[in-house]
């Protein structure tokens, strides 16, 4: 489902050059739930951003859902991301001025989905994460765990093949973190969604199919 070959990422600023990823080779199978761990600064977010086509590698090639993505232009990239990938971030990234239901509908605005169908799909996604009773709330009226569930609903509303989650439980206490993890495990089991998750939490990582550890931009396990 995701194939990374010899991925290298160099960041350059005026004063320093950082080799953030140093020759990563990784295959993620369809339906797999993979976690990525490693110390701060080892390249986890960089790797996830490259898998999500949010950032380009300095070297190496990426194929996602049978497509080699290197030659996509910006418009093709945006369309591919919108249709194939769902993103979940540690800090939720919800839009504060929009109600829960409108936040969840957002990814569908970039597709040919009419308003009625958007509402139906968003309501269904919110049901899946147990938030049917919060459709008209604004993000600031929700707990952290509820906000993350809205973010998950937004990630799954377009039925993506792959979910990329960057420390989805990082801001939550352990009870809420477990709830979020259970939702991700269910999505993986019931819908067959492929999931790649960066985490600092060994307990969460142990619940996934496979754990990849990074150190200084290289894979150690
Ligand atoms: N835009 C950037 N410009 C310059 N250097 C960067 C940039 N983004 C990341 N880096 C550097 O690349 C390295 C890897 O960063 P990355 O954010 O991928 O680490 P991480 O493993 O996700 O860390 P954390 O667990 O703290 O979030 C770090 O040394 C970081 O300083």
pTM of the entire predicted model: 0.93
Residue closest via CA to ligand 1's atom 14 equals 43
CA 215 to chain centre: 21
Rounded (10°) angle between helices 144-156 and 115-128: 130
Residue 43, ligand 1, Cβ within 6 A: yes
Q: Which of 10, 15, 18 to mutate to test the pocket of ligand 1 (most atoms within 8 A of CB)?
A: 18
Average pLDDT score over residue span 113-132: 95
Q: How far is CA 179 from the centre of its chain?
A: 17
Closest CA to 166 of 39, 65, 52: 52
Q: What is d(CA 221, CA 215) in angstroms, rounded to the nearest whole number?
A: 10
Confirm or reject: Cβ of 215 under 6 Å from ligand 1.
no
The interface predicted TM-score (ipTM) is: 0.96
pLDDT band at 187 (very low <50, low <70, confident <90, very high): very high
β-strand partners of 196: 34, 164
Q: What ligand 1 atom has the least distance to the C-alpha of 214?
A: 21
**Ligand 1 atom nearest to 48, measured from its CA:** 18
Q: How far is the CA of 215 from the centre of ligand 1 (A)?
A: 12
Quote the ligand 1 centre to 29 CA distance (angstroms): 26
The Cα 52–Cα 55 span in angstroms is 8
Ligand 1, atom 1: closest residue by C-alpha = 11
Exposure on the CB side of residue 140, measured as CA atoms within 13 A: 3
Indicate if the pLDDT at residue 221 is higher than 80.
Answer: no
CA distance 100 to 119: 11
The reply to whether ligand 1 has any atom less than 6 angstroms from the CB of 11 is: yes
pLDDT digits (tens, 9 = 90+) for 21-68: 999 999 999 999 999 999 999 999 999 999 999 999 999 999 998 888
Residue 133 CB burial class (10 angstroms; 0-12, 13-18, ≥19): exposed
Question: φ and ψ at 117, to 5 degrees?
Answer: -65, -40
Contact criterion met (CB below 8 Å) for 36 and 44: yes
> CA-CA-CA-CA torsion for 93, 96, 101, 107, nearest 10 degrees?
-40
3-state secondary structure of 25: strand
Domains of the chain: 2-219 (3.40.50.300)
Sign of the C-alpha dihedral computed for residues 3, 219, 186 and 109 taken in this order = negative
Nearest-atom number in ligand 1 for the CA of 9 is 12
Ligand 1 neighbourhood includes 18 CB (under 6 angstroms)? yes
Atom of ligand 1 nearest to the CA of 42: 21
CA 31/CA 98 separation, integer angstroms = 32
């Amino acid at each position: 489902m995701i194939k990374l070959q010899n991925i290298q990422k160099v960041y350059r600023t005026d004063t320093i050059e950082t080799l953030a990823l140093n020759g990563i080779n990784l295959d993620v199978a369809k339906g797999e739930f993979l976690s990525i761990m490693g110390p701060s600064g080892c390249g986890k977010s960089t790797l996830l951003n490259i898998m999500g086509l949010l950032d380009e590698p300095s070297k190496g090639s990426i194929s996602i859902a049978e497509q080699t993505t290197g030659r996509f232009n910006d418009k093709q990239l945006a369309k591919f991301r919108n249709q194939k990938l769902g993103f979940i971030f540690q800090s939720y990234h919800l839009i504060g001025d929009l109600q829960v239901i409108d936040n969840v509908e957002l990814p569908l605005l970039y597709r040919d989905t009419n308003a009625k169908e958007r509402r139906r799909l968003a309501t269904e996604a919110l049901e899946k994460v147990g938030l049917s009773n919060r459709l008209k709330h604004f993000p600031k009226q929700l707990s952290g765990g509820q906000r993350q569930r809205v973010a998950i609903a937004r990630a799954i509303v377009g039925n993506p093949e792959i979910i990329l989650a960057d420390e989805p439980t990082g801001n939550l206490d352990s009870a809420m973190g477990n709830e979020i993890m259970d939702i991700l495990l269910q999505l993986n089991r019931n819908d067959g969604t492929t999931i790649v998750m960066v985490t600092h939490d060994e307990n969460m990582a142990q619940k996934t199919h496979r754990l990849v550890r990074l150190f200084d931009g290289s894979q150690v396990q």
